[in-house]
Amino acid sequence: MPSLSLILATLLLSSGLSYADDLDSAMEGFDDAPASSLDENALSGFDEENLEDSLDADAMAGFDDEEREAIDMEEEKESWYSFSGYVSVLGAYNYAQKAPADLPANPAFANDKAMDFRGLSRARTKLDLALDMKHSENWKSRFEVIGWYDASWAVHGKENYSDNVLDTYEYFYDIRDAYIQGTLSDSVDIKIGRQIVIWGKSDSIRITDVINPLDNREPGMVDIKDLRLTETMTKLDYYFGDYGLSGIIIHEPRLEIEPGFGSDYRPRDVFGPAIPDAKFPEQEQQSWALENTQFALSLDGRYEGWDLSWYAANVLNNRFSIVQEDGETLRPYDKIYMVGAATNIVSGAWLYKAEAAYIMDINYRSVDDNKNRLDGLLGVDYSGFSKTVLSLELSDRHVFDYEEIMLKNTFSQGLIPDYVREDTFQVAARASYTFDHDNATLNYLISMLGASVKFQDGGFQRLWMDYKLNDSFTVNAGVVDYIGGNGIVPFYNAIQNNDRVYAEVVYNF
């Protein structure tokens, strides 16, 4: 029986060829909200001319023409930029973690610590600052920085944790956005700098969304939309008819942020027998060199009730490989080639989604030859119930020329197993309900992986609520449950005791 990925790729290719010739644009705007008016009784006795004269006279009383002109110029001067941001405090408590096990009686572990991750797991204060600037009618820019510090490690005693864990989780700062964008002509736009480019239609599973790396330090805790890391790139957009063509040059070879090795999200035994901290190779950071430049191209078409996007990219893979150079083990990230397509189809309260990506030249650690893979996704959203949205997405990743050793190989001689199946299925089901005059939203998400719809490799589920107290303060709180699998792939088994409750207070300004 053909895999889901093969069927989906055929459907997407045929749909794009059969419908593109006779479809019209359907992007309709929204009617403007009715303008408010003054009560007629309150204005009785004033005609329009007298009212205008009276308001002008009252507002500008005591000012001569020069002072009025100075005020107008000052207001115009201040309007070209604006500051915004937020401060948040996040707390989390790990209620399922067990006491740390003793390390193996091996001299290789002599400098390692048996770390305790029970109880308070986060006490994080975060600051976000953004500056938006409008330089002219057609040009604007944005600069945003974020930083946070987690005091939970100091509470537990930093001396009880490895440098790797502290470097990953104690503090972080980043330039979130740093770009300028504008219009070169009526049909050409440009955007240069650190930014995010989102491909695909899925809300929970990445198929064609290969441009920006992710912050994967705490898998399951945050949605994909909040995990993307900005990269420095040049993006050129050309619009014609119902279509938009985008060309991207990615100058910054930025890697994903991984869980700290030895942490509760990447235990020392996650790949099999426990590995000493010193034996786990560091990421090989890549330089801003021409050979590390990445490229991407997309074509988007919007039609009556549906849209279709085509993608092509040569970007860094999110899988690391292992190489030996001068007696040192390194973990580089290689480039892959990807071509894909994605579509949305709207029918009443239903939104249907489909994505397919053919990924070439993947370097798997267990085998000598690089492999190709076909990823496919089908999904549906339903919003027919009042204030409720339901979503279901199912994907399959099929490896061509598969070899059994890619799943069953064990850690040996510095080789870290792939634990890759010929077909890996993933399901993501989501529900959200809005209430209290749209101030509160209750959400649920479950994501599971496996070789079939039994999803024997585990996953996670999260229940949380977002509540808007007023225009400045919001609160979100929830619980995350990690589901250990019963299959060969060990990743969720290794973190199944990370279940935790959390709460965050955010002040926006």
Are residues 138 and 175 in contact, defined by beta-carbon separation less than 8 angstroms?
Answer: no
Q: What is the 3-state secondary structure (H, E, C) of 198-249?
A: CCCCCCCCCCCCCCCCEECCCCCCCCHHHCECCEEEEEEEEEECCEEEEEEE
Picking from 258, 164, 260, the residue whose alpha carbon sits closest to that of residue 214 is: 258
- Type of residue at 496: Q
**pLDDT, tens digit, 9 for 90 and up, residues 340-375:** 999 999 999 999 999 999 999 999 998 999 999 999
Tokens of 200: 């695909």
Q: What is the chain's Cα-based Rg?
A: 27
Instruction: For the chain, report the end-to-end CA distance as a whole number of angstroms.
Output: 56
Beta-bridged to residue 271, according to DSSP, are none
Are residues 492 and 484 in contact, defined by beta-carbon separation less than 8 angstroms?
Answer: yes
CA distance 401 to 403: 7
Q: Which helix (H) or strand (E) holds 155?
A: helix 152-156
| Residue 466 lies inside a defined structural domain of this protein | yes
Is the pLDDT assigned to residue 74 strictly greater than 70? Answer: no
Residue 330: what pLDDT? 85
Q: How confident is the model at residue 324 (pLDDT cuts 50, 70, 90)?
A: confident
Percent of the chain's residues with pLDDT above 70 = 84
Q: Sign of the CA dihedral 179, 184, 186, 188?
A: negative
219 burial via Cβ count (<10 Å: 0-12, 13-18, 19+): buried
Q: Where are the alpha helices (DSSP H) in 46-137?
A: 48-59, 65-78
| Residue 35 lies inside a defined structural domain of this protein | no
Residue 159: what pLDDT? 96
Is the pLDDT assigned to residue 162 strictly greater than 70? Answer: yes
| Residue 40 lies inside a defined structural domain of this protein | no
Cβ atoms within 10 Å, residue 64: 8
Is the pLDDT assigned to residue 57 strictly greater than 50? Answer: no
Is the pLDDT assigned to residue 42 strictly greater than 90? Answer: no
CA distance 311 to 244: 12
Residue 453: what pLDDT? 84
Is the pLDDT assigned to residue 3 strictly greater than 80? Answer: no
CA distance 280 to 29: 54
CA distance 250 to 293: 6
| Residue 276 lies inside a defined structural domain of this protein | yes
Q: How confident is the model at residue 454 (pLDDT cuts 50, 70, 90)?
A: confident
- DSSP per position, 158-180: GGGS-HHHHHHHTEEEEEEEEEE
Residue 487: what pLDDT? 80
**pLDDT, tens digit, 9 for 90 and up, residues 388-415:** 999 999 999 999 999 999 998 776 656 7
Picking from 204, 206, 224, the residue whose alpha carbon sits closest to that of residue 216 is: 224
Residue 265 is part of a domain; what is its CATH number? Answer: 2.40.160
Is the pLDDT assigned to residue 8 strictly greater than 50? Answer: no
How far, in Å, are 97, 287, 367, 497, 503 from residue 116 at the CA level? Answer: 9, 36, 36, 12, 22
DSSP state letter for 304: T
CA distance 448 to 68: 65
State mean pLDDT over 269-277. 90
Is the pLDDT assigned to residue 60 strictly greater than 60? Answer: no
Domain count for the chain: 1
User: Which distant-in-sequence residues (6+ apart) come within 8 Å of 207 by Cβ?
Assistant: 200, 340, 342, 355, 356, 357, 375, 376, 377, 395
CA distance 224 to 216: 10
State mean pLDDT over 82-99. 97
| Residue 490 lies inside a defined structural domain of this protein | yes
CA distance 127 to 305: 41
**pLDDT, tens digit, 9 for 90 and up, residues 12-29:** 434 443 333 433 333 333
**pLDDT, tens digit, 9 for 90 and up, residues 103-119:** 998 999 999 999 999 99
Q: What is the pTM of this model?
A: 0.83
Are residues 151 and 123 in contact, defined by beta-carbon separation less than 8 angstroms?
Answer: yes
Are residues 279 and 112 in contact, defined by beta-carbon separation less than 8 angstroms?
Answer: no
∠ CA 48-51-55, nearest 5°, is 140
Residue 328: what pLDDT? 80
| Residue 111 lies inside a defined structural domain of this protein | yes
DSSP state letter for 263: B
Three-class secondary structure of residue 494 per DSSP: helix
CA distance 134 to 79: 8
Is the pLDDT assigned to residue 385 strictly greater than 60? Answer: yes
Three-class secondary structure of residue 11 per DSSP: helix
State mean pLDDT over 73-79. 60
- Type of residue at 304: E
Residue 70: what pLDDT? 57
| Residue 52 lies inside a defined structural domain of this protein | no
| Residue 74 lies inside a defined structural domain of this protein | no
Residue 273: what pLDDT? 86
State mean pLDDT over 51-80. 52
Q: How confident is the model at residue 78 (pLDDT cuts 50, 70, 90)?
A: low
Full residue range of the structural domain in which residue 497 is found? 4-20+90-508
